[in-house]
Amino acid sequence: MSARLDARIPGGPIAEKWDRHKFEMKLVNPANKRKHTILVVGSGLAGASAAASRAALGYQGKCFCFQDSPRRAHSIAAQGGINAAKNYQNDGDSVYRLFYDTVKGGDFRSREANVYRLAQTSLNIIDQCVAQGVPFAREYGGLLANRSFGGAQVSRTFYARGQTGQQLLLGAYQALERQVGLGHLRMYPRTEMLDLVLIDGRARGIVVRDLVTGEVTSHAADVVVLATGGYGNVFYLSTNAKGSNCTAIWRAYKRGAGFANPCFTQIHPTCIPQSGEHQSKLTLMSESLRNDGRVWVPKQKGDARPPNQIPEAERDYYLERKYPSFGNLSPRDIASRAAKEVCDEGRGVGPGGRGVYLDFADAIKRLGEHTIRERYGNLFEMYERITAENPYRVPMRIYPAVHYTMGGLWVDYNLMSTIPGLHVAGEANFSDHGANRLGASALMQGLADGYFVIPYTVGDYIGSTKLERVDASHPAFTDAERAVSERTATLLAIEGKRTVDSFHRELGKVMWDYCGMARNETGLTHALEIIPQIRDEFWRNVDVPGSAAELNQALEKAGRVADFLELGELICRDALERRESCGAHFREEFETPDGEALRDDAHFSHVAVWQYRGENQTPERLEEPLEFENVHLSQRSYK
């Protein structure tokens, strides 16, 4: 193992590692805590919960987000639920089972110790959220209700109608605002991080741009936490919010933070199909719908009959047929690939034949429309609003779309990146989901990182590190500020012919075509040739109107797309080098005879970590070997 990639996994049996580690951590005297400043970038589940928890401990805190309020962060859009191994349903769940399901669901490409800790802290999350007043669904007796979710055979998902992410985020947001009101934390909305500043090899602050005035300033600190979410928008069309971007983690990468498994991008099986070229984003329909909806396509190629005229015998419920034990609840990567397969065969439905039915007729017959409305009413409404079709009467049409990125900045067990003092939480890091994330696990991870891991590990870092005082007048800050302003000026001075969006769409199409649900060497090699050409044209021919000293949304987008144009190349490079199929990374050259992902554990049972080596240099590929001591490596089967 490279010395640079010490995961610092504590010793001892897996169930004791975290407790033991917590005990061995250095503590910081309460009187000294207020002498230390911690910056949190991003205010989603991970960022808001980390900022609120640490401000409550007495540290000086600042939190930054590009939206107008921390409550807008894209965690808010998560619909289905949050997993926790409470076993309230007495159906055989346990911390160990959640751990096992997550390692297996991630197709054995995650770190066991991290996943076990995630499963352990899942219990505390639900308690914490209920204490804050998150209105989880309840049974008539007043106890918490659960539903089942993809990739699991137990009912361990807690939910608040179809708005679980919203309610969890509002809980964290309210805790954060409470700290703001008490004066323990300062919030910087409409502020975008544009660089990370290192002094003596440690992360000591960030450079930001005020999106209203355009002013570029620095913030010095002892610890920087990035909780800036995923990079799915590199595909242009995704279920992410329009503003979601990779800029913060990409700047950190260019300052030396290793980037792990960038090619592990999740394509979610149940999204509303694209309706035309004008489309600006794709909308997710919660995976929870697969609890009651049945997925099917016509058996006949090119069958153009409306769904209600296709008799039962001429329908192919392909998930139930291929995966009888998990059926419609197969994990996301498997369900997505199966949808692509039937559409490639010419059996897809709707415009362009890129869609499959998600049919609630049986569930409505069995449970009544009222129950279905109660479970999914807001999702059905959203679907009808977008498509003008009533899903209580006609089956939904769905198609896979880019949704989540398992890859991200590499972190050790303490969630610290390869840059000392730079911690990374939530979707922005790579840690817990391996090559495929299970449903209702993103919310769990964001809150586990923010409420229960970062507050401990940041304290340990501060307590065990001698940190010289620095402030924003240090030359490292002024140099970084200058570089940020120069880059902005360069973008504005190009005055080319094409809009930022046109480049973003072009990049997205290349990513989707060659690095989407199925990948192969020829396609990836081709993408690696085209992406630099698009990037080259971008820097010669982009048109960014307006000035730097005002609210300039085109300029914001330009900076983000410039970074996506670099990240896209790294994703394809990682996908090319990983010569195996695992989870969401499906290489057509590596499949089992029945078309499932074929892992190569002998050569690829590791985390691939990319180290930046300078402009126009091929980055270095490092490996962190993965050991499986508890869950034994096996071919994943959901049949």
For other proteins, the binding residues in 471-500 under the rule CB under 8 A are: 499
Rounded Cα distance between 228 and 193, Å, is: 10
Question: Between 505 and 544, how does the x/- string for binding to other proteins read (CB under 8 A)?
Answer: --------------------------------------x-
For other proteins, the binding residues in 355-374 under the rule CB under 8 A are: none
Min separation Cβ 379 and other proteins, Å: 11
Residue 485 or 499 having the CB closest to other proteins: 499
Helix (H/G/I), strand (E/B), else coil: 597:
strand
Rounded Cα distance between 183 and 168, Å, is: 23
Q: Nearest Cα to 613, choosing from 622, 602, 605?
A: 622
Of the residues 28, 52, 444, 511, which one makes contact with other proteins according to CB under 8 A: 52
For other proteins, the binding residues in 59-78 under the rule CB under 8 A are: 67-74, 76-77
**# of chain residues touching other proteins (CB under 8 A):** 79
* Interstrand relation of 259-260 and 606-611 (parallel, antiparallel or unpaired): antiparallel
For other proteins, the binding residues in 447-466 under the rule CB under 8 A are: 451-452, 455
Of the residues 163, 233, 436, 611, which one makes contact with other proteins according to CB under 8 A: 163
Residue 501 or 537 having the CB closest to other proteins: 501
Q: Is 275 in the site for other proteins (CB under 8 A)?
A: yes
Judge whether 258 and 531 are in contact, CB under 8 Å.
Answer: no
For residue 189, the number of C-alpha atoms closer than 13 Å in the C-beta half-sphere is 13
Residue 478 or 541 having the CB closest to other proteins: 541
Q: In this structure, what token pair is assigned to residue 113?
A: 């110790």
Q: Nearest Cα to 436, choosing from 331, 290, 588?
A: 331
Active site residue 117: no
In this chain, which stretch among 135-143, 339-347, 357-365, 612-620 interacts with other proteins, using CB under 8 A?
A: 135-143
Of the residues 9, 15, 25, 130, which one makes contact with other proteins according to CB under 8 A: 130
- Phi and psi angles of residue 514, each rounded to the nearest 5 degrees, phi first: -110, -15
Min separation Cβ 568 and other proteins, Å: 22
Look up tokens 């503590």; give the residue. 27
Of the residues 11, 141, 302, 306, which one makes contact with other proteins according to CB under 8 A: 141
Residue 17 or 161 having the CB closest to other proteins: 161
Q: Nearest Cα to 229, choosing from 372, 409, 49?
A: 409
For other proteins, the binding residues in 235-254 under the rule CB under 8 A are: 241-243
Q: Is 342 in the site for other proteins (CB under 8 A)?
A: no
In DSSP terms, 620 is beta-bridged to 611
For residue 390, the number of C-alpha atoms closer than 13 Å in the C-beta half-sphere is 4
Residue 141 or 593 having the CB closest to other proteins: 141
For other proteins, the binding residues in 69-128 under the rule CB under 8 A are: 69-74, 76-77, 86, 88, 124, 126-128
* Interstrand relation of 82-83 and 202-210 (parallel, antiparallel or unpaired): unpaired
Rounded Cα distance between 384 and 387, Å, is: 5
Rounded Cα distance between 115 and 630, Å, is: 11
The neighbour count for residue 220, using CB atoms within 10 Å, is: 20
The residue annotated as part of the active site, out of 117, 204, 290, 332, is: 332
Residue 189 or 327 having the CB closest to other proteins: 189
Of the residues 155, 167, 238, 441, which one makes contact with other proteins according to CB under 8 A: 167
For other proteins, the binding residues in 177-196 under the rule CB under 8 A are: 177-178, 180-181, 187, 189
In this chain, which stretch among 214-222, 290-298, 546-554, 560-568 interacts with other proteins, using CB under 8 A?
A: 546-554
DSSP assigned state of 289: G
Contacts of 350 (CB under 8 A, 6+ apart): 273, 397
Rounded Cα distance between 131 and 134, Å, is: 8
Min separation Cβ 530 and other proteins, Å: 23
Dmax of the chain from CA atoms? 74
Of the residues 11, 31, 140, 614, which one makes contact with other proteins according to CB under 8 A: 140
Provide the annotated active-site residues. 332
